[in-house]
Structure 1
Amino acid sequence: MKKLFALCFTVILIAACNQGPVRYTQNSPEIDTVKKLIANYNGKNYDASMYADTSQTVYNSSKVMSPAETMDYHKGNDANYSSRGFTGEDPEYEMVLTDKGQTWVNCWLTWEATLAANGKEVKVPIHLTYRFAEGKIVREYGYWDPTEIVMTLQQLAAEAAMAEEEPVEE
């Protein structure tokens, strides 16, 4: 009986010590890559070297962008802002290993900007998620509510169009 008890205890002990891969963490090389990507964005350093050549990025739509198109997207939007970037206000990062063996990094950040046309300041919570393979980003998804920015830019465009239509007094 003692031998049976010792055998069962040994099996339980071995099973308890034999843990699988880490499925969730807040510290990983992939998270460090995302943090570097965020720092590059804030510094207007448009470096796509962290992306795989075949990587696909989707922001708030179904339009898929390549790494080069993603960098062009950011450069094009920069014209709308006198300043912009992610703040250091309570960023959250997590890495998850899915049941399918995929590595994903999720982050929740606060982005703020000052519109160049009128000096209006905006703050937007943003969720970004990245899928990694062999140390490179192969998918990126970004989700945020652009309503305030879009409405302001549309209002400014309408005001500019109206100003052009007004007759010039001589």
Structure 2
Amino acid sequence: MKKLFALGCVIALFVSCNQGPARYTQASAEIDTVKHLLSNYDSKSYDTSMYADTSKTNYNSMKTMSASEAMDYHKQADANYSKRGFKAEGQEYEMVITDDGETWVNCWLEWQGTMAANDKEISVPIHLTFRFVDGKIVREYGYWDPTEIVLTLQEVAAAAKAAEEMAEETE
């Protein structure tokens, strides 16, 4: 009887220690995919192969874009910068599996850019989150505060308009 009780305790201990797959990690194939995507962004290589055909992307709004529309968004924004990209060190990545079994990669990054119009350097903290299905990105959300960039672009536009008006007055 003691042996049976001891065997039961060992089985109970073994079963309680078996927790299944990790639900949180900082190293995964999905995280590597996100790092590759960000590296492509930094080098202005706009590759959509990491996205599912039906992926949806939202940046700071409820407006949804396809992967190719998101790449066009970045290309258009590039006109504002003489250089831009994510800081190489100090970035944080995590992959989580939700209670519903969804795989998400979250990252907290620092973006740095130099405005083309006036060489002003800007640094912006960014949060990106990606949902993966079968190794492909199916959802992407990006959140950051664009205020400093917007204000700088407005200042540049106002200065250009003032210079134009002054030039018209002197003619």
State the TM-score, normalized to the length of structure 1: 0.95
Q: Quick check: 1:97–1:104 contact (8 Å CA) kept in 2?
A: yes
Amino acid aligned to 2:52 = A
Verify: 1:117 aligned to 2:117, yes or no: yes
Q: How many residues align?
A: 170
C-alpha distance in structure 2 between counterparts of 1:142 and 1:122, whole Å = 18
C-alpha distance in structure 1 between counterparts of 2:18 and 2:118, whole Å = 60
C-alpha distance in structure 2 between counterparts of 1:83 and 1:146, whole Å = 17
**Structure 2 match to 1:54:** 54
**Structure 1 match to 2:6:** 6
**Structure 2 match to 1:138:** 138
Secondary structure of the equivalent of 2:83? Answer: strand
**Structure 2 match to 1:169:** 170
Consecutive unaligned residues of structure 2, counting only runs of 5 or more, are none
Amino acid aligned to 2:163 = A
**Structure 1 match to 2:95:** 95
Deviation at 1:9, TM superposition (A): 1.4
Secondary structure of the equivalent of 1:62? Answer: coil
Give the percent of matched residue pairs that are identical in Structure 1 and Structure 2: 68
Deviation at 1:3, TM superposition (A): 3.0
**Structure 1 match to 2:149:** 149
C-alpha distance in structure 2 between counterparts of 1:62 and 1:155, whole Å = 27
**Structure 2 match to 1:83:** 83
Deviation at 1:4, TM superposition (A): 4.3
Deviation at 1:19, TM superposition (A): 2.0
Deviation at 1:162, TM superposition (A): 2.2
Consecutive unaligned residues of structure 1, counting only runs of 5 or more, are none
Secondary structure of the equivalent of 2:127? Answer: strand
Deviation at 1:164, TM superposition (A): 2.0
Secondary structure of the equivalent of 1:16? Answer: helix
Deviations 1:25-50 (A, max 9, x none): 00100000000001000000000000
C-alpha distance in structure 1 between counterparts of 2:11 and 2:89, whole Å = 47
The structure 1 segments of at least 4 consecutive aligned residues displaced by more than 6 Å after TM superposition are none
Deviation at 1:20, TM superposition (A): 1.4
Secondary structure of the equivalent of 1:125? Answer: strand
C-alpha distance in structure 2 between counterparts of 1:141 and 1:66, whole Å = 12
C-alpha root-mean-square deviation of aligned residues, in Å? Answer: 1.2
